[in-house]
């Protein structure tokens, strides 16, 4: 019996939006152009951190971050005026985590060490430091009717159109690392971005899932008014062969991108004869042969089947070689899990009991349906591409 993962057939991804920012590979500080918008609408307010100020002793024992001293009325007014006239009052620069951090003279540079994977650990510096440090810290903030907290992933509008507020896929996603505010109209968030594959070096690859996000250690300070709600991003463990299926709207991550230091992605598990990662939206099957147990892309089984049929035909008829490339696509009409076509051959792979789509009838056997150029149809068993043993 084939063990299968992620059998749901997914809708095509939304049309790409050109307004989404592209991360540059330059060595300049990671100051992105993820803009702050909506600043003039005073609807954001910051909620106090959970520890009341009158209870300073318990604040200390609860390892609550230290609060700045109260500003004088004059200082407060000056800070407010400066914030009001600054389009982007704060910036944040990141540098590789230094082991000597604490031995350097003066205050140690703060470090962020809870970003999804240790490889994203980073030092950061917010500028101008004095103004940032004079803002009170909060654990939560509220925009409109939604309360959000440090640690949550938020949606960030990149423009003020109604369309931008609805298209969740195109909105930027950032993990809230710090909340600071002067008052309810001046609430700022330090965030680390979770990017779409197409917004990172190398771009979107065939193995990227539709709702795949890649956490980074690229930080920004944004105005809380540009926040458009929160989103849940789950971890998808590709090494866990029993991992549960995700529904098609679920955002997930499995890989990180170290923006601040090495500019590299963490490694993905490679499977199958093409040594490629799994696309979580597409099914893979495992060979049942105890000596093999290899995982295969169903797509690769379909491609191998048409290749074989087309080349056998060529050999027997000595046909002119017409190099039509193999194309694979998942069928939307049938319950085939993968479809491959070459010349006039077409292979459809069915896996018993799938797809789990209420609009489609699940297949009752695991087999390859081969459609020949003369209109005939053959069916054959799925064979492991490594050992040849039949996959049931």
Question: Residue 70 or 274: which CB sits closer to Zn ion?
Answer: 274
Find the shortest distance in angstroms from Cβ 340 to Zn ion. 12
Cα distance between residue 157 and residue 160, in whole Å: 7
In the complex, least distance from residue 357 CB atom to Zn ion, rounded to whole angstroms: 23
For Zn ion, which is the closer residue by CB, 183 or 238?
238
Of 176 and 384, which CB lies nearer to Zn ion in the complex structure?
A: 384
How far, in Å, CA of 301 to CA of 348, rounded? 10
Least spacing, CB of residue 298 vs Zn ion, in Å: 9
What is the Cα–Cα distance from 191 to 156, expressed in whole angstroms? 10
Closer residue to Zn ion, CB minimum distance, 40 or 239: 239
Burial string for 338-373 (b: 16+ CB within 10 Å, else e) reads bbbbbbebbbbbbbeebbeeeebeebeebbbbbbee
Work out the angle at residue 129's Cα, subtended by the Cα atoms of residues 127 and 134, and round it to the nearest 5 degrees.
Answer: 130
Shortest CB 7 distance to Zn ion, Å = 17
Place of tokens 């006039």: 344
Q: How far is the CB of 255 from Zn ion (least distance, A)?
A: 18
Find the shortest distance in angstroms from Cβ 384 to Zn ion.
3
Contact at 8 Å (CB) between 176 and 255?
Answer: no
How many C-beta neighbours within 10 Å does residue 239 have?
8
- Give 10 or 297: the residue with its C-beta nearer to Zn ion: 297
At 74 the three-state DSSP class reads helix
CA angle 301, 303, 305 (to 5 degrees): 70
Nearer to Zn ion, 265 or 386 (CB): 386
Using CB under 5 A, list all residues that contact Zn ion. Answer: 272, 274, 287, 289, 292, 297, 300, 384, 386-387
Which candidate, 211, 92, 217, 232, places its Cα nearest to that of 153?
232
Closer CB to Zn ion, residue 314 or residue 380?
380
Q: Give me the least distance between CB of 388 and Zn ion, in Å please.
A: 7
Q: Which residues contact 69 (CB under 8 A, 6 or more apart)?
A: none
- Tokens 């490629």: give the residue: 276
CA dihedral 94, 154, 171, 224 (to 10 degrees): -80
Q: What is the smallest separation between the CB atom of 225 and Zn ion, expressed in angstroms?
A: 46
Which letter, b or e, does each residue of 211-220 get, where b requires 16 or more Cβ atoms within 10 Å of its Cβ? bbbbbbbbbb
Nearer to Zn ion, 36 or 286 (CB): 286
Shortest Å distance, C-beta 204 to Zn ion: 18
User: From residue 318, how far is each of 73, 190, 304, 310 by CA, in Å?
Assistant: 91, 66, 20, 11
- Distance in Å, CB of 327 to Zn ion, minimum: 15
Nearer to Zn ion, 2 or 287 (CB): 287
- As a whole number of angstroms, the distance between CA 94 and CA 87 comes to 21
Return the number of the residue (249 or 274) whose C-beta is nearest Zn ion.
Answer: 274
Contact 25, 164 (CB under 8 A): no
């Amino acid at each position: 019996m084939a063990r299968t993962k992620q059998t749901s057939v997914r809708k095509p991804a939304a049309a790409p939006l050109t307004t989404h920012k592209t991360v540059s590979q330059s060595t300049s500080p990671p100051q992105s152009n993820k803009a702050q918008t909506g600043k003039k609408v005073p609807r954001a307010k910051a909620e106090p951190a959970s520890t009341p100020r009158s209870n300073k002793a318990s604040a200390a024992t609860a390892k609550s971050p230290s609060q700045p001293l109260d500003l004088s009325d004059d200082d407060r007014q000056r800070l407010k005026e400066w914030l009001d006239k600054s389009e982007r009052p704060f910036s944040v620069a990141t540098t590789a985590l230094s082991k000597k951090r604490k031995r350097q003279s003066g205050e140690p540079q703060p470090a962020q060490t809870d970003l999804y994977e240790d490889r994203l650990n980073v030092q950061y510096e917010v500028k101008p430091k004095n103004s940032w440090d004079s803002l009170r810290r909060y654990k939560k903030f509220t925009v409109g009717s939604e309360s959000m907290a440090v640690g949550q992933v938020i949606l960030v509008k990149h423009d003020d159109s109604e369309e931008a507020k609805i298209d969740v896929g195109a909105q930027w996603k950032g993990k809230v690392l710090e909340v600071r505010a002067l008052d309810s109209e001046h609430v700022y968030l330090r965030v680390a971005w979770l990017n779409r594959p197409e917004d990172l070096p190398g771009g979107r690859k065939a193995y990227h899932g539709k709702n795949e996000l890649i956490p980074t250690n690229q930080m920004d300070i944004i105005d809380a008014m540009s926040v458009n709600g929160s989103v849940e991003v789950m971890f998808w463990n590709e090494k866990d062969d029993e991992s549960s299926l995700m529904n098609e709207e679920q955002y997930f991550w499995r890989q990180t991108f170290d923006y601040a230091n090495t500019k590299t992605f963490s490694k993905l598990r490679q499977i199958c004869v093409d040594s490629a990662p799994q696309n979580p939206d597409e099914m893979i099957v495992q060979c049942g042969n105890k000596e093999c147990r290899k995982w295969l892309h169903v797509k690769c089984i379909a491609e191998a089947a048409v290749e074989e049929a087309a080349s056998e035909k060529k050999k027997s008829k000595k046909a002119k070689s017409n190099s039509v490339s193999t194309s694979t696509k998942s069928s939307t009409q049938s319950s085939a899990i993968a479809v491959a076509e070459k010349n006039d051959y077409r292979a459809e792979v069915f896996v018993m009991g799938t797809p789990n789509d209420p609009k489609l009838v699940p297949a009752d056997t695991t087999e390859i349906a081969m459609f020949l150029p003369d209109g005939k149809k053959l069916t054959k068993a799925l064979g492991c591409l490594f050992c040849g043993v039949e996959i049931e």
